């Protein structure tokens, strides 16, 4: 009769298990995370093509060397390896937390030998005591506290998976940015070397004119000072070039030996890209989705803390076989079975459980605010790079026109100096301005390419043919 009552109690507890509260939807999280006054426009303020964002942006640069560098970084980058290990930790944590929902089985085997040293020989005895036991304990998740904890662990796993996806996207973009920084550094170094040659020839010309009495010693001194300044700038450019190479090599997992061969020229800028609309970022960018899952994890943690205030139920079963001299003397069976169903009711915990609930509630609010900041920063990144697309193109066009005019002016001034119509200082000033404009053109070309790479990353487009966000990722 007791056995039937126990089964009935267990069945009733299972049937009465409470369902967890439904987590907030994506739009509910979005609405809660931003101030009421924050309105999201239907299209980007800075313009752009509202067509769907495309993937495989790396191929649009048509740079096989860059493709190989990105593949090498994905295989060897140490920061990415750490991110992958974090995913594995989160994956196994789901198993650890979920195991609390299952019965816990354990076994025990022990033996004890006791010898009684009595005063008389007839009272000296040796007793053997052995125990072989199998036990099961099971916390019955009536209210759903353990299920909430498992759901939080699953959400954290999804967040870490998305963080890893964003880390891959960021690494590909960072490698591309650093690759073209080495191109910029190489071109700046070549320009600095050319500047040394230019000022060296101007110094030779000043000496010839001074020897022939056509100019003063001031021209010679000034030309020599400018050449020495150019030599100093050349050494600075060499330092920057070495730094750029070493930074790229570390990204690739190589020793920073500054041995990688930089490209001598930039690739042709790919055609403009589709930018979608602002709301698309909520499902395209892995970092935004990761922040959303962090909110869900915090929601389930808060749910678990709330349910911890309720009584908990547990069941224990134990089966033993005991070998003991006393049992044999009394004629008792050595096989024992016990069952226990109990409840633990929190009565006084010094305020710990209530404090834990308040902490979990505050952490949930933090996660919602963090989500809002991630979203707003993502909007800012896209608006900035979209606006810069046109501005950089205009800036580069004006700079290239200025460079053409400066080059023509230097050529005319040099001819007039040889003819004795202009002094050397005039030529040197024009030459210095031309070199500055040319350096600016080099930097603007790199800035234009870098802006395009940042645009792809900001929009959430993948550098691979597959989307950045794996479609199998779904809310638990």
Residue 475 lies in a domain: no
* Candidate from 11-15, 164-168, 281-285 with smallest mean pLDDT: 11-15
Smallest Cα–Cα separation from 26: which of 380, 372, 472?
372
* Amino acid 476: pLDDT: 43
- CB atoms < 10 A from the CB of 7, how many? 10
The answer, yes or no, to whether residue 3 has pLDDT greater than 70, is: no
Which of the listed ranges 5-9, 44-48, 294-298 does the model predict with the highest average pLDDT? 294-298
Dihedral of alpha carbons 223, 226, 228, 231, sign: negative
Confidence of residue 20 (pLDDT cuts 50, 70, 90): confident
Confidence of residue 129 (pLDDT cuts 50, 70, 90): low
Q: For residue 375, give its domain range.
A: 2-111+127-459
* Amino acid 211: pLDDT: 82
Residue 411 lies in a domain: yes
* Amino acid 409: pLDDT: 87
* Amino acid 332: pLDDT: 57
Query: In the 3-class helix/strand/coil scheme, how is the chain assigned residue by residue?
Result: CHHHHHHHHHHHHHHCCCCCCCCCCHHHHHHHHCCCCCCCCCCCCCCCECCCCCCCHHHHHCCHHHHHHHHHHHHHCHHHHHHHHHHHHHHHHHHHHHHHHCCEEEEEEEEEEEEECCCCHHHCEEEEEEEEEEEEEEEECCCCHHHHHHHHHHHHHHHHHHHHHHHHHHHHHHHHHHHHHHHHHHHHHHHHHHHHHHHHHHHHHHHHHHHCCCCCHHHHHHHHHHHHHHHHHHHHHHHHHHHHHHHHHHHCCCCCCCCCCCCCCCCCCCCCCECCCHHHHHHHCHHHHHHHHHHHHHHHHHHHHHHCCCCEEEEEEEEEEEEEHHHHHHCCCCEEEEEEEEEECCCCCCCHHHHHHHHHHHHHHHHHHHHHHHHHHHHHHHHHHHHHHHHHHHHHHHHHHHHHHHHHHHHHHHHHHHCCCCCHHHHHHHHHHHHHHHHHHHHHHHHHHHHHHHHHHHHCCCCCCCCCCCCCCCCC
Q: What are the tens digits of pLDDT across the range 285-335?
A: 999 999 999 999 999 999 999 998 989 888 888 877 665 555 555 555 566
pLDDT top residue among 10 and 234: 234
The answer, yes or no, to whether residue 469 has pLDDT greater than 50, is: yes
Rounded CA-CA distance 350/347 in Å is: 9
Rounded CA-CA distance 355/289 in Å is: 29
How confident is the prediction for the chain on average, in pLDDT? 87
Residue 122 lies in a domain: no
Integer angstrom CA distances of residue 78 from 66, 95, 177, 224, 256: 19, 26, 18, 48, 14
* Candidate from 49-58, 154-163, 336-345, 446-455 with smallest mean pLDDT: 336-345
The answer, yes or no, to whether residue 133 has pLDDT greater than 80, is: no
* Amino acid 1: pLDDT: 42
CATH number at residue 134: 1.20.1600.10
Rounded CA-CA distance 450/174 in Å is: 10
Integer angstrom CA distances of residue 170 from 79, 165, 175, 237: 11, 9, 9, 27
The answer, yes or no, to whether residue 180 has pLDDT greater than 70, is: yes
The answer, yes or no, to whether residue 113 has pLDDT greater than 50, is: yes
* Amino acid 79: pLDDT: 95
Residue 470 lies in a domain: no
Residue 473 lies in a domain: no
pLDDT top residue among 461 and 17: 461
Residue 476 lies in a domain: no
- High-pLDDT (> 90) share of the chain, %: 59
pLDDT top residue among 107 and 231: 231
User: What mean pLDDT do residues 37-58 have?
Assistant: 93
The answer, yes or no, to whether residue 127 has pLDDT greater than 80, is: no
The answer, yes or no, to whether residue 217 has pLDDT greater than 90, is: no
Confidence of residue 452 (pLDDT cuts 50, 70, 90): very high
Residue 75 corresponds to which tokens in the numbers above?
Answer: 């295989």
* Amino acid 44: pLDDT: 96
Residue 372 lies in a domain: yes
pLDDT top residue among 199 and 441: 441
* Amino acid 218: pLDDT: 83
The answer, yes or no, to whether residue 275 has pLDDT greater than 70, is: yes
Residue 471 lies in a domain: no
Domain count, the chain: 1
* Amino acid 420: pLDDT: 74
Rounded CA-CA distance 328/336 in Å is: 14
């Amino acid at each position: 009769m007791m056995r039937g009552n126990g089964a009935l109690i267990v069945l009733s507890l299972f049937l009465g298990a409470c369902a967890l509260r439904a987590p907030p939807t994506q739009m509910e999280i979005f609405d809660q995370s931003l101030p009421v006054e924050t309105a999201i426009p239907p299209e980007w303020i800075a313009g752009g093509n509202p067509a769907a964002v495309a993937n495989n942006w790396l191929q649009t640069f048509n740079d096989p060397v860059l493709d190989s560098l990105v593949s090498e970084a994905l295989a060897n980058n140490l920061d990415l390896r750490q991110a992958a290990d974090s995913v594995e930790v989160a994956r196994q944590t789901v198993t650890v937390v979920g195991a609390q929902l299952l019965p816990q089985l354990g076994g025990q085997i022990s033996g004890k030998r006791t010898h009684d040293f009595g005063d008389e020989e007839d009272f000296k005895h040796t007793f053997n005591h052995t125990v072989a036991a199998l036990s099961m304990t099971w916390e019955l998740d009536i209210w759903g506290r353990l299920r909430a904890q498992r759901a939080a662990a699953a959400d954290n796993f999804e967040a870490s998976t998305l963080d890893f996806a964003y880390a891959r996207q960021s690494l590909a973009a960072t490698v591309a940015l650093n690759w073209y920084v080495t191109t910029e550094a190489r071109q700046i170094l070549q320009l600095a070397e050319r500047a040394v040659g230019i000022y060296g020839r101007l110094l030779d010309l000043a000496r010839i004119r001074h020897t022939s009495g056509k100019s003063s010693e001031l021209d010679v001194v000034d030309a020599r000072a400018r050449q020495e300044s150019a030599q100093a700038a050349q050494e600075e450019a060499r330092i920057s070039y070495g730094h750029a190479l070493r930074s790229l090599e570390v990204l690739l997992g190589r020793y920073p030996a500054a041995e990688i061969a930089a490209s001598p020229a930039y690739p042709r800028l790919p055609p403009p890209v589709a930018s979608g609309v602002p709301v698309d970022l909520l499902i395209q960018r892995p970092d935004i989705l990761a922040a959303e899952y962090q909110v869900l994890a915090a929601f389930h943690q808060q749910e678990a803390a709330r349910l911890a205030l309720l009584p908990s139920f547990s069941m224990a079963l134990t089966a033993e076989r005991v070998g003991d001299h006393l049992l044999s003397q009394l004629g008792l069976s050595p096989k024992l079975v016990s069952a226990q169903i109990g409840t633990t009711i929190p009565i006084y915990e010094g305020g710990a459980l209530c404090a834990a609930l308040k902490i979990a509630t505050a952490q949930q609010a933090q996660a919602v605010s963090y989500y809002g900041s991630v979203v707003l920063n993502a909007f800012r990144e896209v608006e900035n790079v979209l606006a810069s697309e046109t501005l950089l193109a205009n800036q580069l066009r004006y700079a290239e026109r200025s460079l053409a005019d400066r080059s023509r002016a230097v050529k005319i001034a040099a001819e007039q100096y040889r003819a004795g119509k202009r002094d050397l200082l005039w030529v040197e000033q024009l030459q210095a301005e031309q070199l500055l404009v040319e350096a600016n053109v080099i930097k603007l070309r790199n800035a234009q390419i870098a802006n395009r790479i940042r645009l792809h990353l900001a929009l959430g487009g993948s550098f691979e043919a597959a989307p950045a966000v794996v479609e199998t990722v779904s809310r638990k």
